[in-house]
Amino acid sequence: FAMKNTMGYGLNAFLDETEPVRILQRLMIGSEGTLGFVAEAVLRTVEIAPEVATGLLVFPTLLEATSAVPGLVEIGSATVELMDATSLRVAQASGTAPRQIMDIDVADHAALLVEYNGSSPEDLAERSGAAREHFVGLDLSADPGLTSDAAARAGLWTVRKGLYAAVAGNRPSGANALLEDVVVPVERLGETCNELNRLFDAHDYEQSVIFGHAKDGNVHFMLNEQFADTNGLARYERFTDEMVELILDAGGSLKAEHGTGRIMAPFVRRQYGDELYEVMRELKALVDPRGAFNPGVILNDDPRCYLQDLKIAPTVEEEVDRCVECGYCEPVCPSQDLTLTPRQRIVGRREIRDAEQRGDWEQAEALLREYAYLGEQTCAVDGMCSTACPVDIDTGDLVRRLRAESASRIEDLGWDTAARRWDVGVRAASGALSAADAVPAALPRAATAAARAVLGSDRVPLYSQHLPAGGGPRPEPQSPPEAQAVLFAACVSSMFGGSEAGEPSAAQALLRLCERAGVPIAVPEGLASTCCGTPWKSKGMTSGFERMTRTTLPMLWEATDHGRLPVVCDASSCTEGLEAMQAAARPDSPWAGLRFVDSVEFAAQELLPRLRVGQRLESMALHPTCSSTQLGLNESLRKIAEAMAEEVVVPLEWRCCAYAGDRGMLHPELTASATRREAAEVGEHGFDAYASLNRTCELGMTEATGKPYRHVLQHLEAATR
């Protein structure tokens, strides 16, 4: 461990003196960035036991639950998580709680989620047996249900982990969800939690939950407050003062896992006393005389600083209002390194609304102009943010609605016209790509660049030399007897040809695989004029989307014998698009009974066991897609790849490529940014093959890496010839 403090003196002299180094480490960590910053750290990892059993202990009262904690610690419980009565009611309301919670009439109950680890099945059995014997002596309201089943364990943890999402996501519009964490001695845990509940009632905080790591006396509590309202701010001030007294009187700390920051800074002197507080001030003055590091954090002379610069949440839109700005969405967003993340898009909408409410129209208009590109045009609307969001927000829904609101009547009419004769539109796009491929790339690129200059970069795609020639027509109709499924061949493979001349498209590859496996599959009449609707939906062209819905779903309803057969689609984004189209239709529509299956899942389940792979590849790199992730297809994708290759690699830096239909051609900088890290990782290794399961994603990854990405079923078709 080595670093330099702000005065530039080297600290390497302490490297051989263990105790000073340990003190220095703790000082730097505890200072929360007020004495300097850690530029590099080496982490000591902790082994995770392979065998785990989880149970839920429901007690009649909170005090009985917390009183049981010391005994549970004694018998070696690896985890003891607390949930109060409000937490249990919230879990019941979700409808997904385990029977231990659903079967009781919650009054003053509380629960402890307990977990036991073992290095082997025998070790776990011994620990679980001792735990069950201990449970017999507890006054429980339900059977603990101690289990090592992965699905059952996940269900128990969903209750605990879902509390924040359930409460924060249902807070009143305009309110902020405030999550605090404190710690008290374990023996004071019960009375402290009871007193917290009393404070909630005294200050009229409803639906406030208490949960936390009971084993360590660590309590989290959450409340909703309207910080923009002066009465709400005054209430929060009164509550905080009483809460501070409660925790300190119990011999606890105002912060447990999280930093003191500015919220608890005014109470640091009260917690540690005058003498230690002055030591902190002297140390800060010595190390950081200019006060450059984290000013106002931990040490703050303003007793009311925690009431300043609080975030407010003006009512904007449904998705925006539910957001708690936790930032969990940011790592999975493809535009994170280029423009805005989902959290920042939502903050931007709040800032625009706040400026409007203040009457600062100049500021609002300036923000709206910037937001058009930063917030709307460079959003891939891939929905990956929803996979990480604790309150289930898909920012893509927000952006699609904004696009629909800003679309002109002429644009909407144009896309509606395209939906009337989509077969013509697909042939035109395919023909244009083939014509462009036949001439030097500079010519079509210059032509599209000129059109973009006139019509706008969000309307006209930019031609790239990496684009292939146009594809062939969609498969001809066929109605084999005893068909087991109906093929919906995506139009995207007809627009964009393959990486190599003459190779079968993904749909053609699937048909050949079905023939080899002896699985008859039908191709419906009228397929050429249909689409999954994604091009219209992602652009906010509502008229065309509704028209395509009225064209596609009735055709599939008839082709599947009124839903008897599943619809198999050869592009993951189109499989997701068909499901979204079905969900957007009227609930009482006859085609609500349609079943959609992606070709990769269909092949993994129905075809692979009946096929023989010839010579196996040494290695294959996979690029899952945003759609395959949300549809749960990635295991099937890997299964097919592992049937063909000795080594199958999904890059650690994988994320959505942001090609998003034509988004990668409208804004190539978006796809370049989204794929940069994954492409660099892929480039460090040589693979025999590169595969994905969606044609436009394959185009994006081919352009990013210079490697020919193909649909995994095209690889499987070649491997089973």
- The CATH number linked to 220 is 3.30.70.2740
Domain boundary among the residues 391, 407, 425 is at 391
pLDDT of 224 > 60? The answer is yes
Sheet holding 209-213, edge to edge: 51-59, 110-118, 79-83, 209-213, 218-225, 176-183
Q: Is residue 385 domain-resident?
A: yes
User: Helices (DSSP H) in 288-408: which residue ranges?
Assistant: 318-322, 342-358, 361-371, 384-388, 395-406
Tokens coding 602: 């269909």
On the question of pLDDT at 8 being above 80, the answer is no
Same domain, 535 and 590: yes
Give yes or no: residues 104 and 69 share one domain: yes
Lowest mean pLDDT among 9-18, 132-141, 162-171: 9-18
What is the DSSP track for 575-601?
HHHHHHHHHHS-TT-GGGG--EEEHHH
1 is a domain residue: no
Same domain, 642 and 615: yes
Q: Is 412 inside any structural domain? A: no
Q: Which of 174, 705, 667, 643 is nearest to 457 (CA)?
A: 667
Distance (Å, rounded) from C-alpha 629 to C-alpha 639? 15
Say if residue 1's pLDDT is above 50: no
Q: Give the pLDDT band of residue 585 (cuts 50, 70, 90).
A: confident
- Please count the residues of the chain: 721
| CATH number of residue 129's parent domain | 3.30.70.2190
Residue 3's pLDDT band, with cuts at 50, 70 and 90, is very low
Q: What angle do CA 640, 577, 374 make, to 5 degrees?
A: 105
Spatial CB neighbours of 306, under 8 Å, sequence gap ≥ 6: 240, 262, 263, 264, 265, 266
Distance CA 83, CA 292 (A): 41
Is 708 within the bounds of a domain? yes
With cut-offs at 50, 70 and 90, classify the pLDDT of residue 7: very low
CA-closest candidate to residue 491, choices 559, 416, 421, 426:
426
In this structure, are 577 and 603 located in the same domain? yes
Tally the domains of the chain.
4
Task: Choose one of 391, 420, 437: the last residue of a domain.
Answer: 391
CA atoms within 13 A on the CB side of 91: 31
Is the confidence at residue 261, as pLDDT, over 50? yes
Least confident of 189-193, 315-319, 344-348, 430-434: 315-319
Domain end residue (candidates: 391, 409, 436): 391
561 and 704 housed in the same domain:
yes
Q: Coil, strand or helix: which one is 404?
A: helix
What's the mean pLDDT in 169-183? 87
Same domain, 160 and 263: no
- pLDDT of residue 262 exceeding 50, the answer is yes
State the CB neighbour count (10 A cutoff) for residue 554: 15
The answer to whether residue 78 is domain-embedded is yes
Residue 40 lies in a domain: no
Q: Is the pLDDT of residue 16 over 70?
A: no
The pLDDT assigned to 390 comes to: 83
The partner residues of 598 in beta bridges, in order of sequence, read 569
Tell me the average pLDDT across 200-214: 93
Specify if 472 maps to a domain. Answer: no
CA-derived radius of gyration, the chain: 30
Q: Do 272 and 346 lie in a common domain?
A: no
Query: What does the alpha-carbon distance between residue 390 and residue 412 come to, in Å, rounded to a whole number?
Result: 34
Tell me the average pLDDT of the chain.
92
CB under 8 Å to 414, separation ≥6 — which residues?
none
pLDDT at residue 496 in the model? 94
**Residues of the domain holding 133:** 51-165
Whether 268 has a pLDDT exceeding 80, the answer reads yes
From the centroid of its chain, how far is CA 68?
Answer: 36
Q: What is the mean pLDDT of residues 115-136?
A: 95
pLDDT of residue 10: 39
- For the stretch 448-494, pLDDT in tens is 999 999 998 988 999 999 899 999 999 999 999 999 999 999 999 89
Residues 607, 702, single domain; the answer is yes
Q: Are residues 338 and 199 in the same domain?
A: no
Local confidence band at 4 (pLDDT 50, 70, 90 cut-offs): very low
The per-residue pLDDT for 12 is 44
| Structure tokens given for 396 | 């893509």
Q: What is the mean pLDDT of residues 382-392?
A: 89
% of the chain at pLDDT higher than 70: 98
Question: Which amino acid type is present at position 119?
Answer: S
Note whether residue 452 is domain-resident.
no
Asked if 103 and 252 sit in the same domain, the reply is no
- Regarding whether 638 and 577 lie in a shared domain, the answer is yes
| Per-residue pLDDT at 17 | 56
pLDDT: which is higher, 625 or 588: 625
Residues 503 and 537 in one domain: yes
CA–CA separation, 407 and 540 (whole Å)? 7
